[in-house]
Structure 1
Amino acid sequence: MFYAKTKPVQTIREHTDCLVAELERLKSTYGSRFVHMDERMWKLLRLAVEYHDVGKAWPGFQNRLRKQLGEKKLPNTITYSVPHNYLSVGMIPIKKYKLTKEESRLLIHAVGYHHERSELPDKEKIEEILENEMRPYLPQLIDHMKLDIPETFSYKSIARLSKRYSQFDDDFYKYVLLKGLVHRIDHAASAGVDIELHADKHIGAQVTAYMEHKGYAKNELQQFAEANTDKSIIVIAQTGMGKTEAALLWINEDKGFFTLPLRVSINAIYDRILSPQEINYHPEALGLLHSTSNDYLQEKEELDEKWEDIYRHSRHLSSKLLLTTIDQILKFPFGYRGFEKELAAMANAKVVIDEIQAYEPKIAAMLIKALEMIHKIGGKFMVMTATLPTIYLDELKKRNIITESDVGKFINQDITRHRICLRQEGITEVGEEIIEQAKDTQVLVIVNTVRRAVKMYEQLRKVDPEANVYLLHSQFTQEDRKLLEEEIKSFNKPKPGEPRRSGVWVTTQLVEASLDIDFDYLYTEISTLDSFFQRLGRCYRNGKRSPVQPNVYVFTEDVAGLGYIYDADLVKKGLALLQPYQGRILDEQAKVEMVQRLYSRESLANTAFLREFEEALHEFDFLDFYEVTGQEAQKKLRDIQTVQVIPECFFDEIFDLVKEYEKCQVDWKRRQEIRRKIEAKSIGVYRFQAEDKLSTLSGLDNIFILHCGYEFDRESRQGRGIVSDIEITMFS
């Protein structure tokens, strides 16, 4: 008997049969959706699955498992180890299956690299193991696997592993698809999950039923999306036009990935799609994947005990519709070892990228490259945004993956919501005005840094200590920030029967796209136009008529964050474009045109923005793949390493939990529960800004005690958050 694994105990043949079952499931559900998977490719995939683990029969591998099972070891004299995937390659009868030279290379590499190892194949060691320790077991292995394995091992095949595929090879995307599907099939079978779930649950039909039930007619945007489900598209549409519904109608009956920049936005859409009062989609067909999705799912009472399965299916990309962040599924342009799994998952699917303008130029370059790779592997994408930088669209056209007919622009000019007033003064100079304005209205103040937000909050509290003044930024603990996000929503949109309160909320760009809020007046520091227009979406969002007086005040002096949060050149150019609208209505058409002008190649000439974008694109276009790991790629994507810190004032509260966590080594669920309670007291900070004020927290990776003060009253929902001399202006 030859074992493949011990938890659960499974032979190589049993494990292989599980893979074959998942392959058949994949083919029966989405076989017709794979552009590059003809019958020859399906044959190669079947062969890769059948032969991928035969190398595990080597006594050196078997003895590791037999030791765990308490069974007698097999004779084994070789002391060094060789990855079993390299051994498997030598046992594939290439000639028997009459493969072409390129087909055999595809198969050899799909099997040989179905596990990515830092150790490269050593032909001499592989040959010694196959000849001296595998050959005696060959008859038993053939009988066990019910496969043809040649008596003469193929060392020529092993030699062909030395030259890996590059993105410049003609069959690169065939290889990515074949190897990536082996990864997906193997990982799904090993985890005991279906590779694809609920293929019959069509989100498009569910959205149509929801809209009919509500009596909503599909607007032009939604009709455009529904009419173009067979192609990749870009839609430019203002806030409030139903872009989410349009995206889901475009996904229709296909497998879908829906990405947004912020976790809180993703969670909100997840709730809406799941809600019986809204779209009411099947909960087990809907996945959620981001850095804290495990916690979010567990907290949802309506999921009961299903949350663990939903989380597992999300991690294995099995969900029919997966809501996620780009760092989870779209980092494959970095070419990290094992990237093929994520890219292959796009081959039979549709990918939505919402708010592409919200990403910095390096990340946007990665997304442009990702869209090109999705296109080449046979997937489809939809980019939807309120404002699209011209250079992004130009680049997609240049790469022949989007044409002008694939772009839809949808602007409703019936209602104009914002009349702006540009003011040549600093926002901290108008505290008394803001307090006066907020006596009988709701005022939102958005500034560019946490430090400026705290300063503004302190000023307003001094002007009138009795006024309703609240502060929201990223430097509150997870549990307190959650309270504040709930508070701002209830403040802004009270429950039926409750009075609408007046007051002020001071915030950062945190609220630009993450919270569904609608204030009467907006006071804001100038930022880049794309960011500024996002801010406008938090003011007079549901207004029924055009404002006669300004409802948006934009402060252009002593602006925080220029040069490191926002490109100073872009802010200056954007301000020049806004000047003609001083005291006037700023309509949706004007916003779109301004962003097009600002982010044209001519306007961006000699700016850091254009330089970063083009340099990043060039790097992705000529990257040597397989140089980094997935974790390293994720760090690059996040650009600056963040750590979770707990203000030292909470140390006594978490002391017992930390001790219990250290001792609780066996009960995984309890460990997770304890860690969640500890992390509720944490805040994300950039490591380099707090390095000299951190103390390690025993037993907890990447969680530290930060030597700082902390201020927040959970009853009144007021306070400043972290109180420290740390320079925190980079945080939102």
Structure 2
Amino acid sequence: MDLSKFTAKLYKIIKEDKIIKENKTVREHTDDLLNNLEFLNDLGYINKESIYNLTKIACEYHDYGKVNREFQNRIKNETKFNEEKEIAHNVLSLYFINPDDFEEEKDYYRVCFAVLYHHYYCDGLKVLSEKTDLIENLLSEFETYELDEFTPMEIGDIKSDDEAILIKGFLNKCDFSASGNTEIEYKNDFLEESLEGLLNSWKIDNKEAKWNELQQFAKDNRDNNIMVVAQTGMGKTEAGLHWIGNNKGFFILPLKTAINAIYDRVSNGIVKENNNEEKHKVALIHSDSLSYYISQNEDTNIVLDHHREGKQLSIPISIATLDQIFDFVFKYKGYEVKLATLSYSKVVIDEIQMYSADLLAYLILGIKTIIRLGGKVAILTATLAPFVKDLLLEDNNKLGFVEGTFVNELKRHNLKIYDDKINADVIYNKYIDNKEKKISNKILVVCNTIKKAQEIYNELKDKNIDNLNILHSKFIKRDRAYKEEQILEFGKTNHIGDGIWISTQIVEASLDIDFDYLFTELSDINALFQRLGRCNRKGVKPAYDYNCYVFLQIERNLLTNGDKGFIDKKIYELSKEALRNVDGLLSEEEKVNIINRTLTTENIKGSDYWSKYTEFFDYVSGLNPYEVDKKDVKLRNIISFDIIPQCIYEKNESEIESLLEIINDEKTDKINRIKSIDKIKSFTVSVGQYDIELLKNKLIMELEVGKYERIPVYKCNYSELGFTRNTKEDVYDNFI
């Protein structure tokens, strides 16, 4: 059939910020897909020849259904789809596929599945069964092939087949790229050279500079899945990049602040993409990535193209949050394109110990799926609980992980254990003692809750500490960003300072800070060792005397009990016992040994954490394709609301009103509208469900910042402490 006679679509392509309408024939569009597929194959991204051949057939036939007269008339007249007269083209396309062209019957059904589900305009299987007369009428002038009565059932049954998933994923990827007029992939031919350039820059200051044993291990094991425990400061980022090499790669991290920092470091310090040039090497993928790009670059076209290509997963190196990549485990409509991309990618999981039970379940299932489909995974972490390791190595290490441990006898931390609750007096006495000795006096206090951090702040404030600061997640975004800049500057290794910073779990992994002394509550042993990493981080300060003070006792209502509490009771008790007899210097190797003795599978079984992990893993493993709608997919069960405190609104009213005028002006372009919305959002603080319930009668107004988005202004308590609840009731959420 001559497909050049038929129009595929009236494409709307954005060129230089203008929408240009462009007709393409079915033949032209199909050839675009085939060229995309060929490009992927030439890059070596399609692991099996059979997948390539079957995807090629799917690409060829996916839009043949568009040749029907009703579709052609609709495109010509620019009218809407009429389900009384028309059948979705993806359904009709099946009738052009000859079942006799396949050596295996299953391959025919795999291709049919990919073609039928490359769009979701309708319930394809239902239409195949119920609208046979209309289908026959629309295809009467073409040479087609009948579908036997079992074909719809066979197509439905093959949805979970690995090869069918990949064929559909590659078809979608080729189609999205062709329809959007974007590159399907950019080749990674630069990373290994960039890393050698980094090493050469080190050699300017030190001729003996070389990759350390961790980085060399990663380099030597590029063809393997690796599981690495390496102490803080060993260069895990460079190790991960070495392992990726000149391949497509993803870096997965738990927190956005850490992701932004690594993105900056990789794109500016290693790969060195110029801000004024098109960016096709490193992408940032999280919920606020467009806003971050805009804050870094003034060029509208570069920003929008970079963001779009990042979301389409066509950039060689992506730095991302778990939820942006691993949501494929929910098998929502269209999840296959992500899996197809990951089937030829190398995925680095950084700091696996930071994940809650539900996220760990999604992560473990995702890792197993990626490896099964052909991708590779590297786990790089400061600590690795034995029970997590067991989950990854089950079935005699079926996933084929090569293990490596890189710790030494360096003793950075000298621990004093208190079998008591955290105490402002102890902190104050140490601060005064250091001050009298005229030594560097940078003290970090880490609490398990915002409420406790605020209490300690108030108690120390009453003692007239000169330089007292507090940082947690319940500050408005503008204040938090400023505080993060301050703590990063104050916490530089070579900065000799005098002051106290009080914070929460947010400092565990997201901020590169180095304090002289740490005072912390215990939550669990993993989190504790992360917190220790914020003190004497580089190990260059003497640790003859105590520099880390750990308080074992915490409020009992923080411990899990039914649906209350957020610190696992059993893991907390295990951690407490493991630390009870610790006193003095603790080497990196000893930390690993403590974790290996404490967090075993045998010890963890029976804990709330283990029960939740098992529940979530079983649930998501048992999902059928398309059972969950993508809009309902949430990897984290944290309900939060962004609000503006009334006092903040009143203080910044004129600026906010000016920004609203820009947002609501139809002449405002997309970038300036986003910038203005982001500026208004910088006045917001994220609060929980319980906070909103307490404030239900305190709503002042709502600011309209988009067609479907409003930001509420509430009368609430906001001060130097951040947001505080107007209640004495001990209610704790998992905000940090």
Equivalent AA in structure 2 for residue 219 of structure 1: N
Tell me whether 1:196 sits opposite 2:195 in the alignment: no
Amino acid in structure 2 at the alignment position of 1:661: I
Q: C-alpha displacement at 1:175, in angstroms? A: 1.1
In structure 2, the partner of 1:470 is 469
In structure 1, give the amino acid aligned to 2:559. L
Task: Say if 1:158 and 1:102 are closer, same or farther in 2 by CA, change over 3 A.
Answer: closer
The aligned runs of 1:188-337 (5 Å cut-off) are 188-201=177-190, 203-215=191-203, 216-276=209-269, 278=270, 280=272, 283-301=279-297, 306-337=302-333
**TM-score normalised to the size of structure 1?**
0.88
Query: Which residues of 2 match residues 154-173 of structure 1 at below 5 A?
Result: 154=147, 159-160=152-153, 163-165=156-158, 167=160, 172-173=161-162
Tell me which residue corresponds to 2:385: 389
**Alignment partner for residue 427 of structure 1, among 409, 422, 427?**
422
Whole-Å Cα distance in 1 between the matches of residues 219 and 532 of structure 2?
Answer: 29
Q: Deviations over 1:636-675 (max 9, x none)?
A: x111333322223344342443354345388433332222
Once residues 271 and 616 of structure 1 are traced to their aligned partners in structure 2, the CA distance between those partners, rounded to angstroms, is 34
Residue 128 in structure 1 maps to residue 127 in structure 2: no
Provide Cα deviations, 1:71-102, integer angstroms capped at 9, x if missing partner. xx79x98626543212211222332x244201
Matching residue within 89, 112, 119 for 1:115: 119
> What amino acid is aligned across from residue 638 of structure 1 in structure 2?
R
Contact kept in structure 1, 2:259 and 2:320, CA below 8 Å:
yes
Counterpart CA distance in 1 for 2:271 and 2:137 is: 62
Partner residue of 1:513 out of 502, 506, 509: 509
Q: Which of the numbers 169, 175, 179 marks the counterpart of 1:180?
A: 169
1:2 corresponds in structure 2 to: 7
Q: Against the structure 1 CA distance between its residues 238 and 163, is the aligned structure 2 distance closer, same or farther, given a 3 Å change threshold?
A: same
Measure, in 1, the Cα distance between the counterparts of 2:90 and 2:690.
Answer: 40
Matches within 5 A, 1:354-393: 354-393=350-389
What is residue 646 of structure 1 aligned with on the other side? 644
- Equivalent runs, 1:709-724 vs 2, <5 Å: 709=716, 711=718, 719-724=720-725
| Greater displacement, 307-316 / 261-270 | 307-316
The question of whether the paired residues in 2 share the 8 Å contact of 1:16 and 1:50 is answered with: yes
Q: Distance in 1 between matches of 2:512 and 2:150?
A: 58
- Unaligned 5+ segments in structure 1 are 139-149, 713-718
Q: Which sits farther off after the overlay, 368-377 or 79-88?
A: 79-88
Give 1:710 deviation, angstroms. Answer: 5.5
Equivalent residue runs for 1:79-98 within 5 Å: 79=84, 82-95=87-100, 97-98=101-102
Name 1:17's counterpart in structure 2.
Answer: 31
Kindly indicate whether the alpha-carbon contact (under 8 Å) linking 2:343 and 2:373 is maintained by their aligned counterparts in 1. Answer: yes
Secondary structure of 1:115 counterpart: coil
- For the residues of structure 2 that align with 1:594 and 1:80, how far apart are their CA atoms? 70
Q: Distance in 1 between matches of 2:434 and 2:289?
A: 37
Letter in 1 for 2:403: V
Q: Quick one: distance in 1 between partners of 2:641 and 2:383?
A: 32
Measured against aligned partners, the alpha-carbon deviations of 1:318-339 in whole angstroms (never above 9, x if no partner) come to: 0111110111111222222221
Instruction: Tell me by how many angstroms 1:22 deviates.
Output: 1.4
- Cα distance in 1 for partners of 2:83, 2:470 equals 66
Give the Cα–Cα distance (whole angstroms) in 1 for the partners of residues 66 and 293 of structure 2: 37
Does the aligned pair in 2 maintain the 1:644–1:702 contact within 8 Å? no
**What residue identity is the alignment partner of 2:660?**
V
**Conserved 8 A contact 2:297-2:303:** no
Relative to structure 1, the CA distance from residue 401 to residue 118 in structure 2 (aligned partners, 3 Å threshold; closer, same or farther) is farther
Q: CA deviation at 1:112?
A: 0.6
**Deviation digits for residues 673-719 of structure 1, max 9, x if unmatched?**
2222222222233345414636554354455315243646xxxxxx2
| Stretches of structure 2 lacking an aligned partner (at least 5 in a row) | 1-5, 13-20, 204-208
Cα distance per residue 1:212-269 (max 9 Å; x no partner) = 3203322211111111100101001110111111111011111101110001111111
How big is each residue's C-alpha offset from its partner over 1:444-498, in whole Å with a ceiling of 9 and x where there is no partner?
A: 011011111112212211110x610111111112222111111111122299xxx
2:312 and 2:400 map into 1 onto residues whose CA distance is: 35
Alignment partners' CA distance in 2, 1:486 and 1:107: 53
What is the correspondence of 1:236-635 to structure 2 with a 5 Å cutoff?
A: 236-276=229-269, 278=270, 280=272, 283-301=279-297, 306-399=302-395, 401=397, 406-413=402-409, 415-430=410-425, 432-433=428-429, 435-436=431-432, 439=435, 440-464=440-464, 467-493=466-492, 500-544=496-540, 546-559=542-555, 561-563=558-560, 564-582=565-583, 584-633=584-633, 635=634
Shift of 1:289: 0.5
Contact 2:109 2:155 in 1 (8 A): no
Q: How far did 1:427 drift? A: 1.8
* Residues 632 and 295 of structure 1, relative CA distance in 2, 3 Å threshold: same
CA separation in 2, counterparts of 1:25 and 1:399? Answer: 37
The AA in structure 2 aligned to 1:441 is N
Q: Does the C-alpha gap of structure 1 residues 606 and 10 become closer, same or farther in structure 2, counting only changes over 3 Å? A: same
Alignment partners' CA distance in 1, 2:11 and 2:150: 30
What is the alpha-carbon root mean square deviation over aligned residues? 2.7
Is residue 123–residue 155 contact of structure 1 (8 Å, CA) maintained in 2?
A: no
- Secondary structure of the 1:427 match is coil
622-631 or 362-371, larger mean C-alpha shift? 622-631
In 1, Cα distance between the equivalents of 2:598 and 2:87?
56
| CA distance in 2 between partners of 1:320 and 1:101 (Å) | 36
| Contact kept? 2:569, 2:607, Cα under 8 Å | no
Map of 2:674 onto structure 1: 672
Alpha-carbon offset, residue 572 of structure 1: 1.5
CA contact 1:420–1:550 (8 Å) conserved in 2: yes
Q: Which moved more, 1:472-481 or 1:370-379?
A: 472-481
Matched pairs, number: 690
User: More deviation in 297-306 or 539-548?
Assistant: 297-306
2-structure distance, mates of 1:209, 1:402: 37
1:23-42 mapped onto 2 (5 Å cutoff): 23-31=37-45, 34-35=46-47, 37-38=48-49, 40-42=50-52
TM-score (norm 2): 0.88
Q: Alignment partner of 1:419: what SS? A: strand
Deviation at 1:402, TM superposition (A): 5.3
Change beyond 3 A, Cα 1:213–1:291:
same
| Residues 390 and 600, structure 1, Cα contact 8 Å, conserved in 2 | yes
Equivalent-residue separation in structure 2 for 1:429 and 1:106 (angstroms): 65
Does structure 2 retain, via aligned residues, the 8 Å contact 1:44–1:107? Answer: yes
Deviations 1:182-241 (A, max 9, x none): 11111122222111113322x233223312320332221111111110010100111011
8 Å CA contact 1:105, 1:160 repeated in 2: no
Shift in Å, 1:585: 1.0
Q: Percent identity?
A: 31
Contact kept, 8 Å, 2:688 with 2:733, in 1: the verdict is no
For the 8 Å contact 2:368–2:399, the answer to whether it is kept is no
Residues 258-284 of structure 1: CA deviation (Å, up to 9, x unaligned): 1100011111111111224x5536852
Amino acid at match of 1:530: N
Q: Is the 8 A contact 1:434 1:443 kept in 2?
A: no
Measured in 2, the distance between the counterparts of 1:543 and 1:26 equals 46
- Cα contact 1:375–1:401 (8 A) shared by 2: no
Query: Contact 1:452/1:729 (CA < 8 Å) preserved in 2?
Result: no
Distance 1:528 1:190 in 2: 50
Secondary structure of 2:347's partner? strand
SS in 1 for 2:674: helix
